[in-house]
Amino acid sequence: MRLGIIAGSGAADFLPGGQTIALAAGPWGETSGPVRQVGIGGHEVLLMSRHGEPGARAIAPHAVNYRANVWAFRELGVDHLLGINTVGGISAGFACGALVLPDQLIDYSWGRAHSYSGTAAFPLQHVDFTTPFCLRLRDLLLGAARRVGVELKSAGTYGVTQGPRLETAAEIDRMERDGCDLVGMTAMPEAGLARELDVSYAICCVVVNQAAGRAPAGVGIHAEIAANLRAGLDQAERLVTAFTEADLHAT
């Protein structure tokens, strides 16, 4: 199996090691960076850092070339593509440190190059996006989590904001009324583009802070993120390792 991973904030050293492979610019331009190839249990994992390489100027969520990134993974022939996303928790039950496999999303982002459709190579298509994440991949990840005892929430709605600023308390209140459990800035257009290319795609979210207006007075979002990031990513790493080590003949 060949698994692609697009790792978000703080995840540049996700599953460290391996060999770096440069990617030539494709029809949609430059990717966020090279991929790093890591072998786990006889399977191949190809990782890309969504916000660019460590040491380079970080690419803001609205400026990520999602089309180039997803295209590159399709060209690399991955069987599945997994996003690792740090998020804020909105509703009760999505506390800091939680690992979540969202099953739904609401897109509040705007102005991003969000489709391949309408170009000469890609005639207009209205892809079915009723279930935005691959059900088979979600099942495999949930099975892996159960096997190794990683606590993984099996559902949740991810609201995608434009960033890079964080939200106002009123924006988060509105998102909660809309049904969002989590807030982040990067699940779209990544998920929609993967669906356009028929790539099996899901995201694993690490809750690193309480969304704006949800934390007790005096608790700063950035301090929360710093406190929760590493442990959350360690759990996500355990999950990915269990997933790749599993017998996945039926991918």
Give the shortest CB-188-to-ligand HPA separation in angstroms: 12
Encode burial over 113-136: b for 16+ CB neighbours within 10 A, e otherwise.
ebbbeeeeeeeeeeeeeeebbbee
Strands 99-100 and 2-7, by their bridges, are unpaired
Beta bridge partners of 47: 5, 36
Residue 184 engages ligand HPA in binding (rule: CB under 6 A): yes
CA 9 to CA 27: how far, in whole Å?
26
Look at residues 74, 91, 79, 86 and name the one whose alpha carbon lies nearest to residue 187. 86
Look at residues 92, 100, 82, 51 and name the one whose alpha carbon lies nearest to residue 207. 100
Q: Which residue of 99, 208, 229, 240 would you call a contact of ligand HPA, by CB under 6 A?
A: 208
Residue 192 engages ligand HPA in binding (rule: CB under 6 A): no
Q: Which residue of 52, 83, 88, 192 would you call a contact of ligand HPA, by CB under 6 A?
A: 88
What is the total count of residues that contact ligand HPA (CB under 6 A)? Answer: 12
Give the shortest CB-212-to-ligand HPA separation in angstroms: 6
Q: What binding mask, one character per residue, do residues 41-80 give for ligand HPA by CB under 6 A, x or -?
A: ----------------------------------------
Contact 155, 101 (CB under 8 A): yes
Q: Which residues in 121-150 contact ligand HPA (CB under 6 A)?
A: none
Question: Of all residues in this chain, which one has the CB nearest to ligand HPA in the complex?
Answer: 88
Interface residues with ligand HPA (CB under 6 A) are 86-88, 161, 166-167, 183-185, 208-209, 211
